[in-house]
Amino acid sequence: MTQVVNITEAAAFHIKEMMRNNKEEGSFLRVAVKGGGCSGLSYAMGFERDRQESDQLLEIQGLQVIVSSEDAPIIQGTTIDFKQSLMGGGFTIDNPNAIASCGCGSSFRTAKVTGTPENC
């Protein structure tokens, strides 16, 4: 079975740097899905000190990553990367389950979960 989330080496480097800069060493990285955005769902990442009983705990690139059991099927097989360009850098998310996304690239929907689309 494919791991729920994959994090590239470049993305892990920047996440760890953010953890140090924000004094979040020892925290979990939560990867989540929330309703909203043009296509109905959007991604969320953040640091949390505690995990819920229903969270899946993953060890990826030296990071303790948590994903709720509810979000796991929606993001199964997703890869988080960090791309650098002349305009700066940022995280990219490649979700094989997304069947539609909006122009900004941060909102999506899957065949089974449409979320709550909003006007852009």
pLDDT per residue as tens digits for the range 49-100: 999 999 999 999 999 999 999 999 999 999 999 998 888 889 989 988 887 7
How many angstroms separate the CA atoms of 116 and 114, rounded? 7
- Determine the pLDDT at residue 104: 56
Using the 8-state DSSP alphabet, how is residue 27 labeled? Answer: P
Structure tokens that stand for 104 in this block: 């900004």
Task: Please report which confidence band the pLDDT of residue 25 belongs to, taking 50, 70 and 90 as the band edges.
Answer: very high
- In CATH terms, 5-110 corresponds, of 2.60.300.12, 1.10.10.60, 1.20.1050.40, 3.40.640.10, to 2.60.300.12
Widest CA span of the chain, in angstroms?
42
Cα gap 12→28, rounded to integer Å: 13
Domain parsing of the chain, residue ranges: 5-110
Q: Are 58 and 72 in contact (CB under 8 A)?
A: no
Burial class (CB in 10 A: 0-12, 13-18, 19+), 111: exposed
**120 has pLDDT over 70:** no
CA distances (Å), origin 89, targets 46, 47, 86: 18, 20, 8
On average, the pLDDT of the chain sits at: 86
- Which is higher by pLDDT, 113 or 67? 67
